[in-house]
């Protein structure tokens, strides 16, 4: 069972994505902010990280940087961005993000993207 670290401050979105991924057979760890997420970036590492770019305390970009700084495991990162924040997505890609999905998004599309990333790693 692949372990997903989901970082999203909107509780309803977090819950919705969590339940969808759980239904798809993933183990999901949810964090409402970047500070808490950083605590989960220790061994055993998650298999994939999904993060919103706009987060309290620690931004999504910093999360991308922190995940990509992990030497022990190459963890794919998918970032959520809102429309009009394309420049931040570019920055995320420069930091090593593997994929992005624009809000509003379809849960099925998100699941496909997660599976694709996990398959390619």
Residues that bind other proteins (CB under 8 A): 10-13, 15-16, 18-20, 22-23, 103-109
Token pair recorded at residue 109: 């599309």
Going by DSSP bridges, is the β-strand pair 27-31/48-52 parallel, antiparallel, or unpaired?
unpaired
Closest approach of Cβ 68 to other proteins, in Å? Answer: 25
Closest approach of Cβ 108 to other proteins, in Å? Answer: 6
Closest approach of Cβ 119 to other proteins, in Å? Answer: 22
Q: Which is nearer to other proteins, 11 or 94 (CB)?
A: 11
Q: Which is nearer to other proteins, 10 or 91 (CB)?
A: 10
Q: Which is nearer to other proteins, 7 or 95 (CB)?
A: 7
């Amino acid at each position: 069972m692949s372990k997903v670290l989901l970082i999203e401050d909107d509780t309803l979105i977090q819950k919705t994505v969590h339940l969808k991924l759980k239904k798809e057979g993933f183990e999901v760890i949810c964090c409402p902010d970047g500070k808490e997420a950083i605590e989960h970036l220790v061994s055993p590492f998650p298999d994939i990280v999904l993060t919103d770019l706009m987060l309290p305390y620690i931004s999504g970009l910093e999360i991308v940087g922190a995940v990509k700084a992990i030497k022990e495991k190459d963890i794919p990162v998918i970032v959520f961005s809102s429309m009009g924040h394309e420049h931040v997505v570019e920055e995320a890609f420069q930091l090593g993000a593997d994929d992005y999905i624009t809000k509003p998004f379809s849960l099925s599309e998100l699941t496909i993207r997660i599976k694709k990333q996990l398959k390619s790693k």
